[in-house]
Amino acid sequence: MPHGHTPLPYKIAVVNLATYSVPGVHCAHCSAAITAEVSKVAGVEGVDVDLEGKVVSVQGAGMSDAEIRGAIAEAGYEVAA
Ligand SMILES: [Cu+2]
């Protein structure tokens, strides 16, 4: 049994991975447009667009789901889920 309060051995950065289903993506242009817009969202560190799966994966820390959805919409695409 641990005695007392056990602190974390190191500080873990809060990294989020969010995925969005965007049926409208179909080519490199779509991918580039979404990547450009989503990259502007605060906290976003990486954007990956899977053209076959039509999934946008966003990696970052402390990012806002609403802002990412807004950025995808801004790029001209609709988030399905
Ligand atoms: Cu396209």
CA angle, corner 13, sides to 72 and 75, nearest 5?
A: 10
Instruction: Report the alpha-carbon distance of residue 49 to residue 4 in Å, rounded.
Output: 46
Helical residues (DSSP H) of the chain, grouped into ranges = 28-39, 65-74
CA of 28 to the centre of ligand 1 (A): 6
Place of tokens 């490199």: 28
**8 pLDDT above the threshold of 60:** no
CA of 30 to the centre of ligand 1 (A): 4
Nearest to 56 by CA among 27, 28, 35: 35
pTM for the full predicted model: 0.80
The 10s digit of each residue's pLDDT in 19-37 is: 999 999 999 999 999 999 9
Nearest to 22 by CA among 58, 61, 59: 58
- What domains does the chain contain, in order, with CATH numbers? 16-74 (3.30.70.100)
